Structure 1
Amino acid sequence: MSPEKKIKTWLPLWVGLGIALGILIGSIYSQFGNTGKVDGTGKIDAIFNYINKSYVDTVNIRQLVEEALPKIVQELDPHSAYISASEMKRLNEDLEGHFSGIGVSFYVLSDTIVVTSIVPGGPSEAAGIQQWDRIVNVNDTLIAGRKITNADVLQKLRGEKGSEVKLGIKRNDDTKLIDITVTRGDIPMNSVQAAYMQTNTIGYIKVGTFGFNTFNEFISALSKLKSQGAHSFVIDLRGNSGGSLEIVVAMVNEFLHKGDLIVYADGRNFPRQDSYANGSGTSKEDDVVILIDELSASASEIFAGAIQDNDRGLVMGRRSFGKGLVQSQRNFPDGSAVRLTVARYYTPSGRSIQRKYEKGKYDEYELEALNRYMQGDYVNSDTASTLIPFKTEGGRTVFGGDGIMPDVFIARDTIGMNSYFNTIANKDFIQEYAVTYSDMHKHKLSEFQSAEDLARHLYKQPLLMNLVSYADNKGVRPRPYYIEESRKLFERHLVAYIVRNFFGEESYFSVYMQDDVLMKNAVDFIERGLAKPESVVQEKYKSISLGLRVSFPVPKEFGSLFYV
């Protein structure tokens, strides 16, 4: 074939390829020129394509997208979020009320994992792990003696159900390690952390979160306490950050009469949805007091708001967090998800739970609890003057638009808190010493038959002076005046932590709550017949003030239990 004929044959193909390539290049680069307006999606695609093709170094586009998406979504409001697959798995575990692990609680003591309790019937109990064992090796890798965090332990010891993990265990004073292989299984996480009789007729229930199993746990707690003579209840929602709407509606239903409005949601493209009590509740006539604080959020606020607006019981404590945005979730195939705010929650009286926020200033929003502390919200109720008044079913005035303001304001108890106590607490020396003491005296302490007997024994021991010496050896010098000022607070924490090591979480609360100011006032109001809202003197707020000292708050995770 002659050169002229070859050119004529191939020319249309080359021209077509050139046009296609030009269109492709133009679609990418024209968006950076003056070719007209381009929507946001087109810009994002163009930027990622440009980076992928032209950036000086190799870029993991998938990782770049994962890092960029949270920043894009979080600009909308404080609670819209893109959630990675790994974080989504953890959040699902919290809601589902279980995770897959070896079934122990632990404390990292001197860079060594100490087993502080065994989950009954769990994998570790079956494998022969014992309380106070030290985990030295994980899958033949030495971890003792290295800087290790709680997050590191969770990552190493939790895993897929049915998978195995080999542990090197040091027990007592034995120099030889014991090799134990544990097959991971489902470990329950109780969201109702305690349910016991505070008096002969008043039951106490501590709800830590609202997960998928919380309603069943709550009903069991109510039934248990009723069988022991309870006909009044204190429901403690302090520090409860929320959870499932369906679950909290079912729980509030236990206290309300048929037709009572519990909560409603409304949004721009979200038709109003109302949730009503169906009349099947088992505690419709029982006295109820709800305890809240500045960390009670979302579902906790729905619970408190429904009880308050229906004039069903008293809400006591401090103004709640103020999270009342409804999120709709969309899942991606890789397990990640986006939660987008589509509506707002409102209490029966029409109060919006959500506190104010300024678009883009979400760091300030996250620091709101600290800001409220600094401006005095936790020690007086005067800041309620900025809130909006609403009327309950019975005509009482309540305030809203910025969280739930309690019927009875009780200032934050800071008696005994001072710079020395906060230093010891923030370094976690109280719980650290409680674990150390429990381990040193485990044989004697395990002989006690009840938490009450053990607590009485511990209050007679020189625990505080031992703690002061322990902290001194770690660089915190004693301050005698402050130590004496904080004596009762220190002893209360120490005794409660040690009791927990031998009798569990519920016993911890039963000991710690004996001197809790909100609990004492809740019991007092119930016993004096003031648990009915109409019995409370209708002032702007009935406030109870305590002896106060300005003191920086102890971190929320102080004293937390970690399970793997």
Structure 2
Amino acid sequence: MRLRPENKYKTWLPFWIAVGIVLGILIESIYSQFGSTGKVNGTGKIDAVFNYINKSYVDTVDMHQLVEEALPKIVQELDPHSAYIPASEMKRLNEDMEGHFSGIGVSFYVLRDTIVVTSIVPGGPSEAAGIKQWDRIVNVNDTLIAGKNITNAEVLKKLRGEKGSVVKLGIRRDNNPELINITVTRGDIPMNSVLAAYMQTRTIGYIRVGTFGFNTFNEFISALSKLKSQGAKSFVIDLRGNSGGSLEVVVAMVNEFLHKGDLIVYADGRNFPRQDSYANGSGTSKEDDVVVLIDELSASASEIFAGAIQDNDRGLVMGRRSFGKGLVQSQRNFPDGSAVRLTVARYYTPSGRSIQRKYEKGKYDEYEMEALNRYMQGDYVNSDTASTLIPYKTGGGRTVYGGDGIMPDVFIARDTVGMNSYFNSIANRDYIQEYAVTYSDMNRNKLREFQTVDDLVRYLYRQPLLVNLVSFADNKGIRPRPYYIEESRKLFERHLISNIVRYFFGEESYFSVYLQDDTLLKNAVDYIERGLAKPESVVQERYKSITLGQRINLHVPGEFTSLFYA
């Protein structure tokens, strides 16, 4: 039976009414925030603006890119450490924390626009493919890269990649004009976070920790075990320049030195119930002497480690006031691989002190410049001028300070001897490392003959390395300045020789040579040998005489250099 026209309209009427309601809701959701009355919802405003731009802006807008650019600005307004992390950067950060990345397994140096392989990761993809130390990488996937003024970041982007993927390399070896074509299958490459672990004396072990990643605890335990097997009964833990990492990892590491029930750290926030972390008594070094070294770049997890040792009267903290980061971030991941890290709590050392330094919303450039500002006002060579330090008491009754980083028990100034304008002009242009690579490459056959680090070091000190470096820099436009050259002689030689040693004996040997004249390390050893770092001595009167800001007329040498791995 056919419907009459009026019945047909009645049949479709409910459908059109529903469509109208849906369209009305949609239009309301887009434009309601632009009305002149009513309560405005902040998140609704954001949605409305994005929708308005997408629908009405005069030109086509890449909304995904707009969101990617807007989110960091929104989140970073909260505090200096909350952040939106794009998917591309998140991958690199995850690699740093996980302690490995996928690549070809070499360290490199870009020498005169050419990638020079300075070392091969043992057992890695490059070793299996036949790449050798001092090879030049000329082509990557049939694309010429030599002579292209390529940066380290660009090299990493070309050589790293997904595990199992392949990269074709054109290699020049031993000045042979014929290129060697080698295909490398990328694989997992370990990134060690314990950079050095060796015996400083017959009974004192030295451990340098570069970061607190997911593998750091296992590396740290292995380092302790190795040094104990070699006779270590005391330890110097070097956290200078360590910007932090995983809270769980640092808690597990400092647990090795504390007794059962000792409070390590606690976190507390508005919607973050207080969480206390205690030592469980399973540590392997509860009775060993310990000294922790920090500086102005030691932050976050490094400060937790130093604060736990200090507040439990367990050992000495030496060096310079730390960075002052006491905020706890929680991470939420997006399906595209990006993430938001949001500050949800503050952490506190066992004595109850927050070490987070003050910041003003929107003035985070000034916050990041704090280390430079402290340098300019003389904090690194004189008594620290921090004005926000608040006194607290440890379990043993000692006074410690919070509110602006960890103040060390023994303040030791930064070494400025030899760091004159001539040295800085060469170091800042990376000419020291460039010459070390050049010299090592040119003399590789001779330098490979040495069986021990000590033999190589003795040989290098007899060579005219400084004279050659001065000539090398002169050819690059830095004219010689005899007085300043002599003033910086020891500093130049230490940088040169330690870098050359690195290319033939590895990273640990680099640190052992570089730190031979490190007065902060020397004094850590001296305090241990005089019994001033023993747990029972840190609450004695002779220890209390070391007061806040007391100037010890000793110095800390210059900065370390690092390698790039692909």
The TM-score by the shorter chain falls in which range?
over 0.9
Deviation, 1:543, is: 2.9
Determine if the alignment matches structure 1 residue 538 to structure 2 residue 545.
yes
**Residues 432 and 6 (structure 1 numbering): CA distance in 2 closer, same or farther, change over 3 Å?**
farther
- The question of whether the paired residues in 2 share the 8 Å contact of 1:379 and 1:545 is answered with no
Amino acid at match of 1:544: I
- Matched AA of 1:374: M
- What pairs with 1:235-246 in structure 2 (closer than 5 Å)? 235-246=237-248
Q: Give, in angstroms, the shift of residue 37 of structure 1.
A: 2.2
Which moves more between the two structures, 295-304 or 327-336?
327-336
CA contact (8 A) 2:321 2:384 kept: no
Residues 59, 125 of structure 1: alpha-carbon distance in 2 compared, 3 angstrom cutoff = same
> Per-residue deviation at 1:14?
6.6
State the distance in 2 between where 1:7 and 1:34 align: 42
**Partner of 1:341: helix, strand, or coil?**
strand
- Match for residue 343 of structure 2 among 341, 349, 352: 341
Partner of 1:84: 86
1:370 alignment counterpart: 372
Structure 1 CA distance, aligned partners of 2:210 and 2:504? 21
Q: 1:214 to 1:11 in 2, by over 3 A?
A: closer
Distance 1:107 1:174 in 2: 20
Question: 1:461-509, CA deviations, whole angstroms, 9 ceiling, x for partnerless residues?
Answer: 1111111111111111111111111110000000000000111000000
Residue 27 of structure 1, CA deviation: 3.0
SS of equivalent residue, structure 2 residue 198: strand
Q: Aligned to 2:290, which of 288, 291, 300?
A: 288
Of the three residues 298, 301, 324, the one matched with 2:303 is 301
* Structure 2 partner of 1:223: 225
Query: What amino acid does structure 2 have at the position aligned with 1:445?
Result: L
Q: 2:141 aligns with which of 139, 142, 147?
A: 139
1:34-91 deviation line (CA, Å, top 9, x unaligned): 1322211111111111111111221111111111111111111111111111211111
- After the TM superposition, which of the residue ranges 4-13 and 256-265 deviates more from structure 2? 4-13
Return the letter of the residue paired with 1:522.
A
Amino acid at match of 2:58: V
Provide Cα deviations, 1:202-246, integer angstroms capped at 9, x if missing partner: 110000011111111111111111111111111000000111111
- For 2:19 and 2:291, locate their aligned partners in 1 and report how far apart those are by CA, in whole Å: 76
How many Å separate the matches in 1 of 2:494 and 2:384? 31
Tell me which residue corresponds to 1:101: 103
Deviation at 1:523, TM superposition (A): 1.0
Alpha-carbon distance in structure 2 between the residues aligned to 1:8 and 1:213: 71
Q: Deviations over 1:328-362 (max 9, x none)?
A: 11111111111111110100001102111111111
Mark the runs of 5 or more structure 1 residues left unpaired by the alignment: none
Unaligned 5+ runs, structure 2: none
Secondary structure (helix, strand or coil) at the match of 2:385 reads helix
Partner of 1:513: 515
Q: 1:182 aligns with which of 181, 184, 190?
A: 184
- The whole-number CA distance in structure 1 between the counterparts of 2:564 and 2:384 is 38
SS of alignment partner, residue 169 of structure 1: strand
Equivalent-residue separation in structure 2 for 1:127 and 1:105 (angstroms): 15
The answer to whether residue 422 in structure 2 is matched with residue 420 in structure 1 is yes
Query: Which residue matches 2:496?
Result: 494
Q: Partner amino acid for 2:553?
A: S
Rounded Cα–Cα distance in structure 2 between residues aligned with 1:530 and 1:16: 82
Tell me the distance in 2 between the aligned counterparts of 1:123 and 1:223. Answer: 29
- State the distance in 2 between where 1:174 and 1:240 align: 42
Q: SS in structure 2 opposite 1:545?
A: strand
Comparing 200-209 with 16-25, which one deviates more in the overlay? 16-25
Counterparts in 2 of 1:279 and 1:20: CA distance versus 1, 3 Å: closer
How many angstroms apart in 2 are the aligned matches of 1:99 and 1:445?
A: 31
Aligned-pair distance for 1:386?
3.9
Local SS of the residue matching 1:465: helix
Query: Aligned match of 1:119 in 94, 118, 121?
Result: 121
Aligned with 1:530: secondary structure? coil
Secondary structure of the 1:383 match is: coil
Question: 1:441 corresponds to which residue?
Answer: 443
Comparing 419-428 and 374-383, the one that deviates more:
374-383
CA distance in 1, matches of 2:208, 2:257: 16
Alignment equivalent of 1:400, drawn from 391, 399, 402: 402
Superposed CA RMSD = 2.1
The Cα of 1:269 is off from its aligned counterpart by 1.1
Pick the aligned partner of 1:470 from 469, 472, 490: 472
Aligned residue among 144, 152, 162 for 1:150: 152
Alignment counterpart, residue 559 of structure 1, candidates 548, 558, 561? 561
1:352 corresponds to which residue? 354
TM-score (norm 2): 0.95
**Bigger shift: residues 535-544 or 172-181:** 535-544
Equivalent position of 1:34 in the other structure: 36
Deviations 1:235-278 (A, max 9, x none): 00000011111111111111111111110111111111111111
CA distance in 2, matches of 1:82, 1:117: 35
Seen in structure 2, the aligned counterparts of structure 1 residues 107 and 247 have a Cα distance that, compared at 3 Å, is same
* Structure 1 residue 10: Cα displacement: 10
Write the letter of the residue equivalent to 1:401.
G
Deviations, residues 420-444 of structure 1 (Å, cap 9, x unaligned): 1111111111001100100010110
User: 1:8 and 1:213, CA in 2 relative to 1: closer, same or farther beyond 3 A?
Assistant: closer
- 1: CA distance, partners of 2:555 / 2:226: 37
SS at match of 1:297: coil
SS at match of 1:254: helix
Whether contact under 8 Å (1:194, 1:505) holds in the other structure is yes
Cα gap change, 1:474/1:10 in structure 2, threshold over 3 Å: closer, same or farther? farther
| Kept after mapping to 2: 8 A contact 1:384/1:399 | no
Aligned match for 1:452, one of 454, 469, 483: 454
Q: 1:20 to 1:273 in 2, by over 3 A?
A: closer
Supply the distance in 2 between the matched residues of 1:118 and 1:275 (Cα, whole angstroms). 40
> Percent identity of the aligned residues?
84
CA distance in 2, matches of 1:48, 1:98: 38
Separation (CA, whole Å) in 2 of partners of 1:15 and 1:289: 77
How many positions carry a matched residue from both structures? Answer: 558
1:25 matched residue in structure 2: 27
* Preserved CA contact (<8 Å) 1:236 1:292: yes
Match in the other structure for 2:363: 361
- Measure, in 1, the Cα distance between the counterparts of 2:7 and 2:487: 100
Q: Look up the equivalent residue of 1:538 and give its one-letter code.
A: S
Q: TM-score, normalised by structure 1?
A: 0.95
Work out the CA distance in 2 between the residues paired with 1:89 and 1:139: 23
Query: CA contact under 8 A between 2:519 and 2:555: conserved in structure 1?
Result: no
Query: Structure 1, residues 135-172: CA drift from partner, whole Å, max 9, x if none?
Result: 00000000000011110011100011110000000001
Question: Secondary structure of the residue that 2:154 maps to in structure 1?
Answer: helix
Q: In 1, Cα distance between the equivalents of 2:131 and 2:511?
A: 26
8 Å CA contact 1:380–1:545 kept in 2: the answer is no
CA distance in 2, matches of 1:275, 1:43: 41
Task: Give the 3-state SS of the residue equivalent to 1:322 in structure 2.
Answer: coil
Aligned residue for 1:259, secondary structure, equals coil
CA contact (8 A) 2:268 2:347 kept: yes
Instruction: Tell me which amino acid in the other structure corresponds to 1:536.
Output: Y
Q: CA deviation at 1:8?
A: 6.3
